[in-house]
Amino acid sequence: MSTDVDAPVETAQAGPPPGRTPRFVVAALVAARNGWRQLTSMRTALVLLFLLAVAAIPGSVLPQHAVKTEDVAKFYAAHPDLAPVLERLWGFDVYASPWFAAIYLLLFTSLIGCVTPRLAEHVRALRTPPPDAPRRLERLPQSAELNVDEAGARAALKGWRTVRREQPDGTVTLAAEKGYLKEAGNLLFHSSLLVILIGVGIGAQWGWHANRLLVVGPDQAFCSTLQQFDEYGLGPQVGPADLAGFCLELTDFKADFRENGSPISFQATTQVTDAHGTDLGSRTFAVNHPLRLDGANVYLLGHGYAPVLRYTDAKGVTQETVAPFPFTDGTLTSLGVAMFPDANGGDKSAQIGFDGRYLPTRDKAPYLVSDFPLERNPVLVLTAYRGDLGLDAGITGSVYELDKRQIEAGRLKRYGEAKLLRKGETWTLPDGSRLEFVGTRQWITVSIRHDPGEQIVLVGVILLLVGLPLSLYGRRRRVWLKLHPDGTAQAGGLPRTEYPGFQDEFASLVERWRR
C-alpha cells in the first residue's frame, strides 16, 4: 500500500461554528449588562448623589469666574502657586467642568434606569389582582377564626382593593390589598430628583445672571446690556442678544432699623422701561420679594450711601461726582474713593483723588465707626491725593480704592492733612482748589437673574415633598378571608413590607368582622 505524499491535506478552520456568537462579543455583552445593572442600582444612585454634593463644595469655597471674576484675580494674587493648579483642575469653573458634568450625567442616567423598570413593575402590580388565599391561612403571621357573612366582611374591607373568588366546594374567598401608595411615593420621590436635575440642567444651559450697583437718580439709570453690568455670567446657550430688554432707574429707597441697629425692612422703588422705550410705570421690590419682569427677575441684595462731591480746581473748572461707598459693618460705616482725573486740565501729574470714610451717624471723635445705620449726624472724613491716578495704565483694579501701586511708586502722593466734612461744608486745598460735600444719595445692589428651569425645579420639589411622606409612611399589606358554606370563616394577613403595627391593624379588622 502506497501513500501519495503530494495529496492535499485538509486543515481545521479556526473560529466558532457557523451561527454562534464569538466569545469576545458575548463577554462584551455580559460586561455591558452587568455595568448597566450596577449603574442603575439604587446604591449607585445614592453614591452619585453624594458625589454630586461633594463636587459642589469647591464651587462654594473657591471664587468662580461666572460669579465674580475680581475675586478670582484676588485669589491669584494671594496664592500665586496654587491658583494655576486649581485653574487647570477647573477649580474656578466648577459647574462648567467636565468632571462635574460627568457626575451629573451619570446620576441622570442612573435615576432613569432606576425609575423606568420600577414604574413598569408598579403599573403591572396595579393591574394585577391580589392572589387567591393560601391553603393554610393559619400559617400566616396573623390569622383568626370567626363567624361573618360576606356582606359584613365586605363592609369591613371598605378602602381595600378586594377580589371575590368562588371555589368548587362552595367556599368564597375575599383577597384584599392596601398600601399601593408606598411604591407610588417611592417613584414620585425618585422621579422628583430626575425632574430637579432636568430643571437645573436647563437653567445652567439657558440661564444667565448679572449684578449691578444702582444709585438714586435719572443720571444713574442702566439698561440690561453687558456693557452696563458690573459683572455677569451667561449660560453656554445664551448670547448678548438673548438678554431681557429693560431699563431701571432707582427713584427711592427706604430702610427701617430698630434702635439697636438691626434691620426691619428694605424697599426700593424703581421706574421701569421696556426694550422699546415704553414706560412700564413705578415698581417696588424688597428682600425676598423680587421685581418680576418679562424675561428676568431683579433681587435686592444690599444698600448704602454715595457721597456727592463737587470739586473746583485752581482754574475754576468745576466737576461733580457721585461716589458709592461700600459699607464695612452693620452700622453702614463705609469706605470709598472719589476721583477727578480731568482736574487741572487733564494733567496726569496733577490729578486729584480722595480716599474717604463715611459715617451716617457720629457725634464725637474718634471718627472711625458709625453709631447707627440711618443718617442722623453724617460725617465724611477725606484724605486728598495728587498725582497720576493710574486710570490709563490698562491694569484691572477696584473702583472703590486708590491704586496702591501708584502710591508706593510715588506717582500719587498725599496732598495735605485729612479733613472732616459735614453736608454743605467746603474744603480748600493748598493749591486753592475747593471740594464741597454736597450731600448723599442712597444706592442698592441688585442681582438680575433669568432661570428657565426654575418652574421645573419647583415642580420637582413639590413632587419630592409629596412622594417622601408616602414612601416613608406607606405600608403595603394583604388580608384574606375564607367564607365556608357552613357559616364559619378563616382570616389571615401578611404585611408586604416591614410594618410593626400590622398586628394591631389586623386585630382591629377582625374585631370589626366579629361585630
Q: What is the pLDDT of residues 422-475, one digit of tens each?
A: 999 999 999 899 999 999 999 999 999 999 999 999 999 999 999 989 888 888
Q: Do 94 and 158 belong to one domain?
A: no
User: For the chain, what is the radius of gyration of the CA atoms?
Assistant: 38
CATH of the domain at 165: 3.30.310.10
pLDDT of 9 higher than 50:
no
Whether residue 184 is predicted with pLDDT greater than 70 in this model: the reply is: yes
Whether the predicted pLDDT of 20 surpasses 80: no
- 266 and 308 inside one domain: yes
Residue 198 inside a domain? The answer is no
Same domain, 145 and 265: no
Report yes or no on 340 lying in a domain.
yes
The answer to whether residues 430 and 508 belong to one domain is no
Residues 292, 330, single domain; the answer is yes
Judgement on whether residues 275 and 142 belong to the same structural domain of the protein: no
Do 233 and 305 lie in a common domain? yes
Question: DSSP secondary-structure letter at 326?
Answer: -
Task: Tell me: do 366 and 445 sit in the same domain.
Answer: yes
Residue 395's pLDDT band (cuts 50, 70, 90): low
- Contact status, residue 426 vs residue 194, Cβ threshold 8 Å: no
Domain boundary among 435, 450, 465: 450
What digits encode the pLDDT tens for the residues 111-159? 888 888 888 888 888 888 888 888 888 889 888 888 888 888 888 888 8
Higher pLDDT, 376 or 24: 376
Arithmetic mean of pLDDT over the chain = 88
- pLDDT at residue 480, as a whole number: 92
Extract the C-alpha cell encoding 233. Answer: 455670567
Residue-level pLDDT at 14? 52
Is residue 458 in a domain? no
Specify the pLDDT at position 284.
Answer: 95
- Higher-confidence residue of 46 and 454: namely 454
Tell me the pLDDT tens digit for each residue of 230-262: 888 888 899 999 999 899 999 999 999 999 989
Number of structural domains found in the chain: 3
Q: What is the pLDDT of residue 397?
A: 67
What are the residues whose beta carbons fall under 8 Å from the beta carbon of 328, sequence distance 6 or more? 334, 335
Is the domain of 391 the same as that of 413? Answer: yes
pLDDT band at 31 (very low <50, low <70, confident <90, very high): confident
Q: Is 73 domain-assigned?
A: yes
Please tell me the predicted confidence (pLDDT) of residue 116.
85
Q: What is the mean pLDDT of residues 404-422?
A: 90
What is the average pLDDT across 250-278?
92
C-alpha cell belonging to residue 274: 421696556
pLDDT at residue 21 in the model: 74
- Interval 190-244: pLDDT, tens: 889 889 989 988 998 899 999 999 999 999 999 999 999 988 888 889 999 999 9
Number of helical (H) and strand (E) elements in the chain, helices listed first: 11, 21
- Supply the pLDDT for residue 35: 84
* Statement to judge: residues 242 and 383 lie in one domain: yes
Same domain? 376 vs 445: yes
Q: List the domain range (segments joined by +) for residue 46.
A: 24-122
Is residue 431 within 8 Å of 314, Cβ to Cβ? yes
In 89-207 the beta strands, taken as DSSP E runs, fall at 142-147, 161-166, 172-178
Does 461 reside within a domain? no
